[in-house]
């Protein structure tokens, strides 16, 4: 791998590695700058924030008089603390329900041979082909008719059954050895205990992948919460942030602080769970 994708030894190695260095640098600048700007500006006073913009220098990204007043202002003057808490609650519920419910049906699809099994799997996968935007309107009207619009459960309930997660987990269940199944049967294990005590503990990495991907999906969701929630106290972080950004008189320093709160915890978690995130997508995408 190393050999075939790196530059050929011999002629012009210096030029090649110099070009590679420049490319690396460009990529780092493009991908890191927005984060550095968010972090730096979060800890700057409004005045410094604007003063440090023209011209762009180190000062643009590193506060010279660090202050916490944007973060404290964000939590005291806006409903951001509530929105953050709501997002955490919704994500936690969404992940818990989705991993439980989808792993149950994924196990059945992988290990029970019944007529119509393939058809059922297809019916589930077919949901991936239709854009969720196409069902928003009836979904919204249904929530109103059931009188559960404007509640936190209405944010995550519609997205619990998740074909992507079912596909991913079915794949992992199906790859477990037949011997494991047979041995448990001989021990007189019931079908439910087979799922819960025998099989589930063997696919923990895949469960972590599913949980983290669902968490990101939930944390990112914006369209649906902005439709189904009108009550300020039920709002989620993405909607609160967009609202901060659309105010007539935009408080830029609060927008930065809000972006910081919405982003940094997730990115830090990602650094630790990166492997699971990548595996989740790779395994479900290409097999």
Partner 1 sequence: MTVLFSNSRNAQRYRAAFFLSLPALIGLFLFHYWPIADTVRLSFTDYKVFTGEFTFTGLKNYDLALKDPLLLLSLKNTAVFFLIKVPLQMALGLMLAMLVAKPGRDSTLLRTLVLFPAVTSMVVASIVWGMMFHSDIGIVNSLLESLGLPQQGFLRDKHQALPVLAAITIWKDVGLSMIFYLAGLLAIPGEYYEAARIDGAGRWQLFRNITLPLLNRTHVFVLVTSTIAAFKIFVPVEVLTDGGPSNATRVIVHYIFHLAFRFNRFSYATALSVILAVLLIAISVFQLRITRDEDDD
Residues in 242-261 at the binding interface with partner 1, rule: CB under 8 A: 242, 245-246, 252, 255, 259
Structure tokens at 267: 């990115």
Site for partner 1 in 86-125 (CB under 8 A): 101-102, 104-105, 107-108, 112, 114, 123-124
Smallest gap from Cβ 97 to partner 1, in A, equals 8
Smallest gap from Cβ 19 to partner 1, in A, equals 12
Residue among 139 and 152 whose Cβ is closer to partner 1 = 139
Could you tell me which residues come within 8 angstroms of residue 116 by beta carbon, excluding any fewer than 6 positions away? Answer: none
Site for partner 1 in 192-251 (CB under 8 A): 192, 195, 216, 219-220, 222-223, 227, 237-238, 241-242, 245-246
Structure tokens at 46: 């409004």
Among 54, 65, 118, 201, the residue binding partner 1 under the rule CB under 8 A is: 54
Q: Per rule CB under 8 A, is residue 60 in the interface with partner 1?
A: yes
Smallest gap from Cβ 84 to partner 1, in A, equals 13
Q: Per rule CB under 8 A, is residue 272 in the interface with partner 1?
A: no
Q: Distance (Å, rounded) from C-alpha 270 to C-alpha 274?
A: 5
Among 6, 47, 72, 197, the residue binding partner 1 under the rule CB under 8 A is: 6
CA dihedral sign, ordered 240, 242, 248, 252: positive
Site for partner 1 in 142-201 (CB under 8 A): 142, 157-161, 166, 182, 185-186, 190-192, 195
Number of residues that bind partner 1 (CB under 8 A): 89
Smallest gap from Cβ 71 to partner 1, in A, equals 16
Q: Per rule CB under 8 A, is residue 129 in the interface with partner 1?
A: yes
Q: Per rule CB under 8 A, is residue 75 in the interface with partner 1?
A: no
Smallest gap from Cβ 251 to partner 1, in A, equals 13
């Amino acid at each position: 791998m190393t050999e075939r994708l790196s530059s050929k030894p011999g002629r012009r190695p210096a030029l090649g590695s110099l070009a590679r260095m420049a490319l690396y640098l460009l990529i780092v600048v493009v991908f890191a700058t927005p984060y550095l700007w968010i972090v730096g500006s979060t800890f700057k006073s409004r005045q410094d924030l604007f003063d440090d913009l023209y011209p762009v220098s180190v000062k643009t990204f590193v506060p010279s008089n660090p202050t916490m007043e944007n973060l404290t202002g964000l939590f005291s003057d806006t409903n951001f603390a509530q929105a953050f808490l709501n997002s955490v609650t919704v994500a936690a519920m969404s992940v818990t329900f989705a991993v439980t419910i989808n792993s149950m049906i994924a196990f059945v699809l992988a290990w029970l041979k019944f007529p119509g099994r393939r058809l059922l799997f297809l019916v589930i996968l077919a949901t991936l082909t239709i854009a969720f935007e196409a069902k928003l309107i009836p979904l919204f009207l249904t929530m109103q008719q059931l009188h559960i619009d404007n509640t936190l459960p209405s944010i995550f309930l519609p997205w619990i059954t998740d074909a992507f997660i079912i596909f991913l987990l079915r794949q992992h269940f199906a790859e477990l050895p037949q011997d494991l199944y047979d041995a448990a049967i001989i021990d007189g294990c019931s079908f439910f205990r087979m799922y819960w005590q025998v099989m589930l503990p063997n696919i923990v990495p895949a469960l972590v992948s599913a949980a983290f991907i669902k968490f990101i999906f939930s944390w990112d969701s914006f369209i649906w919460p902005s439709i189904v929630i009108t009550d300020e106290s039920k709002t989620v972080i993405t909607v609160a942030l967009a609202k901060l950004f659309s105010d007539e008189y935009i408080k830029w320093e609060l927008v930065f602080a809000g972006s910081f709160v919405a982003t940094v915890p997730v990115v830090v978690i990602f650094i630790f769970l990166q492997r699971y995130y990548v595996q989740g997508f790779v395994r479900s995408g290409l097999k």
